[in-house]
Structure 1
Amino acid sequence: MKKIIYTVIAFILLSCNDFLEVDLPNDQLTADLVFKDDQLARSAMAGVYRSLEEKGFLSGSSAGGGGYMGCYADELVSYQVSTSDLAQLYSTTVNPQSNVVKTLWNDTYGQLYSINRVITGLTISTTLSAEVKNKLMGEALFLRALLHFYLTQTFGDVPYVTSVDYVENSKISKTDADEVLGLALEDLAKAESLLPEQLPPGMRIRPTKMAVYAVQARIFLFQKDWDKAIIASSKVISQGSYGIETDISKTFLKESKSSIWQLEPIRAGNNTKEGTFYTILSAPPTQVSLSYDFVNSFFPQDLRKGKWIGSKSDSQQNMYYFPSKYKQSSVTATTMEHSIVLRVEELFLIRSEAYLHQQMLLPSLADLNIVRVRAGLPAYGSSIPNDIMNEIIKERRHELFTEFGHRFYDLKRLDLLDDVLPLVKPQWKPFNRNWPLPESELLLNPNLGPQNNGY
């Protein structure tokens, strides 16, 4: 990887939240000074969160994981020019020289460098308060695990980077995808011991133990470790302050009780990148819309179709549909919506799937129907495991659409990519399950080779 040079001033970013607001000096700060002071250490971490909101896997912008993977799967249609990032993903023409491949790789490893810089600074500091040091360390370890999860699900084998040493990183080799998940679980276990139990609704803008359990449950699901997936998801579901909003129109408000962890906009009055990116204000759209196949896959009585999908017609009365989970597409008097990265509905579906694989059909159906019934659908009943599994897949598709790539990663882990995507993407090839590694990075560091199969 290229040497990433950061000055500490890049970390020092203001936020409307009191926890992040600090008085800043006008001159640049040395790296050592940041970790001698609680407020400046907090500001370093604030810089990480701002980067996550603006770009990479956790961003709701046009340069974010939801848009990228939605176009790459079967959720979104791109209306950009054929050479653009989203259009290349939609048409499955990405290659090792594609800008989107290089950008997502470099943005994410840049974020990991920043996270590891924080971890290093916290580790060597002798002057920070124990409370701040432990909390920031837990947050950094949590984020390091989560970003590596997305990297390996997208690219396959990738380096698990824990160092800020340029020489070491410039020669680093890939880590097997299964080992990446194992290392992520190790980071999460460390984070769990350092983070607070939970935060109240409306204030869930920092990772907690509940966020750790949510990501652990997801990784256990991907590893097919059903017992551990049940245990981890149950830790959140059993908490009385986390539950599904019976009124689904409240699900994506910042005060939603189903929210586990959110990214807060950087300025007061700003709302989510998703609301700005996805909302179609005039038709035909210039960026993306929901695919007709996806919109038509909902039952008419499904409240999610009416509440979470908007529409706009052009002068010829052609209708275009867009995700409207987030209603605010512009600045408001006060911030009304945060980008919700983790929410409890996913955990009910994880536990439902895990129960099913343990031949526990009644608990599986109970969790599945908690999600279905609040969406206005009748309770699903079957004694046939394959039918229940198909219903879980449908529910994940309808519940989690355009949220950080769930659809693509589900099809991949279930080995359904080659059954589903060729129906809507004629150019789809089996090797497209993994993105190519950026050619520029392979040239800089041959130890990253070989290139992924097919590219």
Structure 2
Amino acid sequence: MKASIKITGVLTILMSFLTSCEDFLEVEAPDHKVVSEVVFNNEETALSAMTGIYNQLLIASFSNGGFDSVTVLSGLSADDLTTIRTTNLTYREFELHEVQPSNPRNLNLWSSAYKIIYMTNALLEGIESSENISEDIRIRLEGEAKFVRAFTYFYLVNLYGGVPMILTTDYRVNTLAARDSEEQIYQLIIDDLQIAADVLGNDYFQEGRTHVNRYTAVAFLARVNLYLENWEQAEALSSQIIANNEKFEILENLDEVYLANSREAIWQLSPTGGGTFFTNTNEGSTFIIHPFFSVLSHLKLTENFVKSFESEDNRLTHWVNFHSGLSVYYPFKYKIKNSSDAVTEYSMVLRLAEQYFIRAESRAMLDNLQGAIADLDRIRGRAGLELLADANPEIEKEDLLIKIIEERKKELFAEWGHRWLDLKRTGTAGEILDIQNPMWQDTDVLYPIPESERLKNPNLTQNDGY
């Protein structure tokens, strides 16, 4: 309990500092030095500050798995999630690809991501100037903070395109920051992740998998290289993770995948860091429809998505549930909607199954089709499906790539916007989504820069189409 209070205290200091800087045009310059001296005057509080950043990921809209998260909003933009009620206009804008710059959920997505970035910058500045932290601790904290910063920028650049690259807590610099190019943002992401991979150890800092380590950084680097179509690097990096069967494994029981400290997990977030007495994940609370109080639920799976599963697919029976009152299907990867009992589920951020998909796609692009089939079959076999090596061993490259993306849809649905980002990066968003949405325009692949942010910063240009 004392440790929890201490972490909360440090987080409060950081967040009050952050809040004071949120509207740069209306406040005087904060005293950065005083805050740094308080938080980083010893190793214990510095470590607590990093834990506070992890906890903030459970609170921040973009990352918490809740109603304004990447998981929900990007799921609506794709073809796997839809709204239960068409009167929910702020959600419908994402579903119809008509997001208005004034949409409050879009603002929450953007601003909460930048709050995380601001906190990582504050920590990096604090440990750099502190004389009371050992070099080993300083290096480790740098690696963790830079990983979180890279992770956050990855979503910003994929959802909005070029965005301001904020690398300081100096409000005088940040208040009028213009947008940097996508190439510049991706270079920062790679640089930060490479540092994290170089300096972090192979073991998790605490019991469980809620702090990032070297393998977390390598796994995310594999994804980044996949998105950048650096196929050889993506294959090599994902192979490092897959080869480590001492730490990671594909769990045959689908109901065990999202449990706390799952061996399929590369990185998870514990719901106990959210600052409430609830011990369920936000994903469970958001997606599970109460048997009697369904009026509190807003989201369901699309009919076409549910129909895309083969009847024998174990993911359909274990990860999808049916609400008879509303006659709708909903994501059921997490089994607990509300609880204050002992924690049994953690929010999954990165897991091993994705690494098999990364390597399968990379191998296919490198014309190693048999290797790609083997990786895809590892996931299909776990799902109880016929192996591709048996059903279609001579499959053509283009058909195999389509199969990989289709399997990604069924495996990674309702997780961190994977489907939306896959449609965007493969250039198939228009082809697939304009069938269900005649209002689709190619500029819809990016969300608008929030109107209120542009009013505060005249150097923020708007995305095309808005």
Q: 1:9 to 1:154 in 2, by over 3 A?
A: closer
Please point out which of 258, 279, 284 is paired with 1:275. Answer: 284
Partners of 2:206 and 2:256 lie apart in 1 by 12
**2:267 counterpart residue number:** 261
**2:338 counterpart residue number:** 330
Residues 87-111 of structure 1, C-alpha deviation per residue, up to 9 Å, x if partnerless? 3212322111211222211111111
Partners of 1:169 and 1:247 lie apart in 2 by 48
Say which is worse superposed, 118-127 or 436-445, in terms of deviation: 436-445
- The alpha carbon displacement at 1:9 in A equals 5.4
Matches within 5 A, 1:19-58: 30-58=35-63
- The alpha carbon displacement at 1:328 in A equals 1.3
Gaps of 5+ in 2: 1-8, 16-33
Contact 1:260 1:344 in 2 (8 A): yes
- The alpha carbon displacement at 1:446 in A equals 2.2
**2:378 counterpart residue number:** 370
Identity, in percent, stands at: 31
Amino acid at match of 1:364: A
**2:29 counterpart residue number:** none
Say which is worse superposed, 115-124 or 264-273, in terms of deviation: 264-273
Q: Count residues with an aligned counterpart.
A: 430
Partners of 1:100 and 1:111 lie apart in 2 by 17
Q: 1:198 to 1:382 in 2, by over 3 A?
A: farther
2:248 matches 1:248: no
The 3-state SS of whatever aligns with 1:260 is: strand
- The alpha carbon displacement at 1:332 in A equals 4.7
TM-score by length of 2: 0.88
Contact 1:173 1:447 in 2 (8 A): yes
Matches within 5 A, 1:89-128: 89-128=94-133
TM-score by length of 1: 0.90
Amino acid at match of 2:12: A
Structure 1 stretches of 4+ moved >4 Å: none
**2:27 counterpart residue number:** none
- The alpha carbon displacement at 1:84 in A equals 4.3
Please point out which of 311, 317, 329 is paired with 2:322. Answer: 311
RMSD: 2.0
2:396 matches 1:384: yes
**2:25 counterpart residue number:** none
Please point out which of 127, 132, 135 is paired with 1:130. Answer: 135
Amino acid at match of 2:375: D
Please point out which of 134, 140, 147 is paired with 2:145. Answer: 140
Contact 1:269 1:334 in 2 (8 A): no
Contact 2:232 2:362 in 1 (8 A): yes
Contact 1:12 1:43 in 2 (8 A): no
Say which is worse superposed, 219-228 or 240-249, in terms of deviation: 240-249
Contact 1:310 1:323 in 2 (8 A): yes
2:193 matches 1:181: no
Partners of 2:172 and 2:35 lie apart in 1 by 21
The 3-state SS of whatever aligns with 1:447 is: coil
Amino acid at match of 2:456: L
**2:216 counterpart residue number:** 211
**1:414 counterpart residue number:** 426
Partners of 1:65 and 1:108 lie apart in 2 by 10
Partners of 1:73 and 1:11 lie apart in 2 by 38
Residues 181-203 of structure 1, C-alpha deviation per residue, up to 9 Å, x if partnerless? 11100001111122121339970
Partners of 1:310 and 1:256 lie apart in 2 by 22
Partners of 2:343 and 2:264 lie apart in 1 by 18
Contact 1:8 1:44 in 2 (8 A): yes
2:287 matches 1:287: no
Say which is worse superposed, 263-272 or 243-252, in terms of deviation: 263-272
Partners of 1:252 and 1:181 lie apart in 2 by 30
Partners of 1:108 and 1:82 lie apart in 2 by 27
The 3-state SS of whatever aligns with 2:343 is: coil
Contact 1:351 1:364 in 2 (8 A): yes
Partners of 1:110 and 1:332 lie apart in 2 by 28
- The alpha carbon displacement at 1:250 in A equals 1.0
Residues 267-304 of structure 1, C-alpha deviation per residue, up to 9 Å, x if partnerless? 67602100111001134673101111111100000000
Contact 1:436 1:452 in 2 (8 A): yes
**2:4 counterpart residue number:** none
**1:67 counterpart residue number:** 72
Contact 1:139 1:191 in 2 (8 A): yes
Partners of 2:415 and 2:11 lie apart in 1 by 31
2:354 matches 1:343: no
